[in-house]
Amino acid sequence: MADVPATPTPTPPSASPGTSAKRGKQAPLIDPARIRNFSIIAHIDHGKSTLADRLLEVTGTVSKRDMKEQLLDDMDLERQRGITIKARAVSMRYTHHGTEYELNLIDTPGHVDFQYEVSRSLTCCEGALLLVDAFQGVEAQTVANAYNAIEHNLEIIPVLNKIDLVHARPEEVKEEIEQTLGLDAEDAIGCSAKTGLNCQAVIDAIIARVPAPTGKLDATLQAMVFDSVYDEFRGAIIYVRVMNGVVRKGDRVKFLQAGTAHEVVELGQLAPRRVPREHLSAGQVGYVVCNIKSLGQVHIGDTLSVAQGEPAAALPGYEQPKRMVFCGLYPSDGQDFENLREALSKLQVNDPSFVFEPETSDALGFGFRCGFLGLLHMEIVQQRLEGESDIDLVQTAPNVTYRIKVKDGDWIDVHTPQRVPANGDIEDFQQPIVRVSFVLPVDYIGGIMKLCADRRGVFVRQEYLSPTRAMLVYDLALAEVVYDMHDRLKSITRGYGTMDYELRGYETGDLVRLDILVKGERVDALSIVCDKRDSETRGRAVIKKLKEEIPRHMFEVPLQAAIGTRVVARETIKAMSKNVTAKCYGGDISRKRKLWEKQKEGKKRMKSIGQVDIPQKAFLAVLETGEEEGRK
């Protein structure tokens, strides 16, 4: 392994008048040639967070006394679920052959929903460790993340984790890497992140093979904002990667996209806790505090530059997150509406890929229509809201974004079924299509092919990664994927199958809005958009569930599923009835008829003025199981 030559530390560039004179002696700037910025990319559960723990240990950044598992996963939810949700950055110092290097690791999530976090992190790196489980091999998300890193022109170092397992098959996995990803796996490093075996070699490879940053210390300040967190006392704390120049405490800086200028009150690096520094220079990764109290002023992907003089050019931002799944979130207690708004606002600074807007529902009251990257993302946000803000939530059925061309020629984006126009006003109804890659044992190919055929999937290709594992690729409607595809995949493949998907675009579909009517009135919270061929079974499943959950009233309650004015399914909740002829023993039948007619008139009058009480548990029961039962 070639040694990297040590280079002398450069002298600081001349600062602008009125800055360095006030500060006195400054710490020397670090030469960008001694910096390595890298990321760890892998499929979920292949050991990213554990390897990050070992690197912190080997470099001495964290002492063994302070060490705990998943050190960078500092959210309670991350530790409970054993997954990484937020990208984290940490700086490590390590001496290699007499030269001290600064290693900046940007830890990334592995789940398909958090692909946006991965993209942001890779933009700030020059290299990546492609971590592959030595037993499980290449999985769907491994392929997606590797291609993502290749697109960002990163130096990729293959690392095989868990080689200490009895069933590890490193040679076969190397073949899978070469065959599937086209990478040279001859120099792949075998290690065990759990025991620390060979983790020293991983650090040596990072220093030798990851290119140093190319930024210039004497250029105008240019830094990329790649993340932000909200602190209750300090406001927004911004994570940056400095591309060119130097930023110091007390400098006036400008966010080019937002157009706002602020004074830097503190800056520093994460090791892994916040450590204040005098400056951040080209190539370094750290945090900046500017006393930003307004949450809307931070834009992820923005460029930080100088406020006085000519600012640097704005860096090309990475693609905006695509919110593909929408649902309504309502406080179960109407008094919590403002608390929910505040909690959502705080969460949005931590998670810019999540959006929300106010909406009202006749059934559920005031709430918010929220947009997410995927179904797991939606679940995570809901759990964070309930855990961190102590708000009990009611969630409506998830749906995807549709594009509709109305009769006057305008295109509209629809995030909620209630906003779908009447059938007569729709000229073209389009839905998002995704390309789904399934990686699974060959024994289960037939089951997955049948699952995709049932959901009107279009077969694209089939590849064999090894004699026992294959990759199937299908084009499917996103609505078919987000509801329960992941659960069905795990069920069919006994837990061995994995999947990843990417948006291909929008295609015209035979889609309709299915309304649920209770006593002739539409219940907006239960409307869904579905394929016309599924509408009858989906409608029947929902109203059967409603019939079980809505209590009987003193009058008959009809339940209907309808497309426009056409009813496709119906159930009736029978009225509670009193035996009004119980005291009539024998005698003339006309007496009984008179009592029955009187009862009938009363029921008729009650039906015209009576309101149907739909309990909240009825909504929840339908939202939880209606989708799955509609497919049976």
Was 48 annotated as part of a binding site?
yes
Given its phi and psi angles, is residue 409 left (phi above 0), alpha (psi -120 to 50 degrees) or beta? left
Was 328 annotated as part of a binding site?
no
CA distance 65 to 58: 14
Residue 382 burial by CB count (10 A; 0-12/13-18/19+): exposed, middle or buried? Answer: middle
For residue 170, the surrounding DSSP H or E stretch is helix 170-181
Was 45 annotated as part of a binding site?
yes
Was 46 annotated as part of a binding site?
yes
- Are 82 and 70 in contact by the 8 Å Cβ rule? The answer is yes
Query: In the β-sheet with 155-161, what is the strand arrangement from edge to edge?
Result: 88-96, 99-107, 35-42, 127-133, 155-161, 189-190
Q: In this structure, which amino acid lies at residue 330? A: Y
Was 119 annotated as part of a binding site?
no
Instruction: Using DSSP, state whether 433 is helix, strand or coil.
Output: strand
Sign of CA dihedral 142, 147, 153, 156: positive
Was 82 annotated as part of a binding site?
no
Given its phi and psi angles, is residue 378 left (phi above 0), alpha (psi -120 to 50 degrees) or beta? alpha
Angle ∠(578,582,584) on CA atoms, nearest 5: 135
Was 577 annotated as part of a binding site?
no
Was 377 annotated as part of a binding site?
no
CA dist 410 to 365, 421, 513, 564, Å?
31, 12, 19, 22
Q: How far is CA 17 from the centre of its chain?
A: 46
Q: Which residues lie across from 472 on neighbouring strands?
A: 438, 462
DSSP state of 59: T
For residue 46, the surrounding DSSP H or E stretch is none
Angle ∠(399,403,405) on CA atoms, nearest 5: 140
CA distance 599 to 593: 10
CA dist 45 to 53, 84, 444, Å?
14, 9, 22
Was 443 annotated as part of a binding site?
no
Residue 28 has which token pair? 């020397």
CA distance 567 to 28: 77
Q: What is the CA radius of gyration of the chain?
A: 30
CA distance 604 to 70: 65
Was 64 annotated as part of a binding site?
no
Residues 6+ apart with CB under 8 A from 184: 178
- Are 553 and 608 in contact by the 8 Å Cβ rule? The answer is no
Pick out the residues of the known binding site: 45-50, 161-164
Binding residues for GTP: 45-50, 161-164
